[in-house]
Structure 1
Amino acid sequence: MTGARPRTSDLQDLFATATRELRTVVRTPAVVALSVVFALSVVAVAAAGSGSRGGYVPLVLDLVPFVEALVPLLAFALCYRAVLSDRKSGELDVLRTFDVSRVAYVGGVFLGRSLALVTIVFGSLLVAAATVPLLSPDKSTFLALNAAADSPVAFVRFAVLAVLFALATAAVALAISAAARTARQALALAVGLLVAFVVGVDAAAVAGLTSGTIGIDAVPYLLAVSPNGAFRSLVFGVAVETGSAASPLAAVVGLVGWVGGALAVAVLTAWQPVE
Structure 2
Amino acid sequence: MTHAQAIQAIVARELATVVRTRSYWVLLLGTAVAIFGLALAGGGPEAGYLPTAVDLRLPMELLVPALAVALGYPTIVADARRGELDVFDTYPLPSWGYVFGVYLGRALAMAAFLVIPLTILAGYVATTAETDAALIATHQGADSIALFARFAVLTLLFGFAILAVVLAASALAWSRRSAVVLAVLVFGGVVLGLDLFVLRGFGGELVGTDSLTGALALSPTSAYRGLLFESVLSSAIETDQQYAAPIASVVGLLCWTILSLGVTTVAVTRR
| TM-score, reference length from structure 1 | 0.90
Q: 1:131 aligns with which of 102, 124, 132?
A: 124
Q: Which moved more, 1:255-264 or 1:244-253?
A: 244-253
d(CA) in 2 for partners of 1:80, 1:231 = 22
The residue aligned with 2:172 is 179
In structure 1, the partner of 2:138 is: 144
Q: Deviations over 1:126-152 (max 9, x none)?
A: 2222232333224263352243x2111
Q: How far, CA to CA, are the matches of 2:195 and 2:161 in structure 1?
A: 18
Q: Aligned ranges for residues 112-261 of structure 1 at < 5 Å?
A: 112-139=105-132, 141-142=134-135, 143-147=137-141, 149-241=142-234, 242=237, 244=241, 245-261=243-259
SS of equivalent residue, structure 2 residue 132: coil
SS class of match (2:89): helix
Deviates more, 1:260-269 or 1:127-136: 127-136
1:267: which partner in 2?
265
Contact 1:201 1:222 in 2 (8 A): no
Question: What do residues 198-222 of structure 1 show as CA deviations (whole Å, max 9, x unaligned)?
Answer: 4322322332232222212222222
Structure 1: any 5+ residue segments left out of the alignment?
1-7
1:85 equivalent to 2:83? Answer no
Q: 5+ residue gaps in structure 2?
A: none
CA contact (8 A) 1:43 1:127 kept: no
Alignment partner, residue 39 of structure 2? 46
Q: Distance in 2 between matches of 1:236 and 1:140?
A: 23
Instruction: Give a deviation string over 1:164-189, Cα, whole Å, max 9, x none.
Output: 11111111111111122222322222
SS of residue paired to 1:130: helix
Cα distance between partner residues in 1 of 2:83 and 2:191: 34
SS, match of residue 150 in structure 1: coil
Identity in percent = 37
Letter in structure 1 aligned against 2:211: A
**Residue range with higher mean Cα deviation, 247-256 or 234-243:** 234-243
Segment of structure 1 superposing worse, 35-44 or 189-198? 189-198
- 1:41-60 Cα deviation digits (max 9, x unpaired): 11222223222222211111
Q: Deviations over 1:94-139 (max 9, x none)?
A: 1102332112211111111111110111121122222323332242
1:35 is the counterpart of 2:33: no
Whether the 8 Å CA contact 2:223–2:244 is kept in 1: the answer is: no
Instruction: Deviation per CA, 1:7-57: give whole Å up to 9, x if none.
Output: x21100000000001001111111221121001211222223222222211
SS at match of 1:107: helix
Offset of 1:249 from its aligned partner? 0.9
TM-score, with normalisation over the residues of structure 2? 0.92
Asked whether the 8 Å contact 2:216–2:223 carries over to 1, the reply is yes
Please state which structure has a larger fraction of its residues in helix: 2
Which among 56, 68, 77 is matched to residue 75 of structure 1? 68
User: What secondary structure, in the 3-state scheme, does the structure 2 residue paired with 1:97 have?
Assistant: coil
- Report the aligned-residue RMSD: 1.7
State the alpha-carbon separation in 2 of the partners of residues 140 and 188 from structure 1. Answer: 51
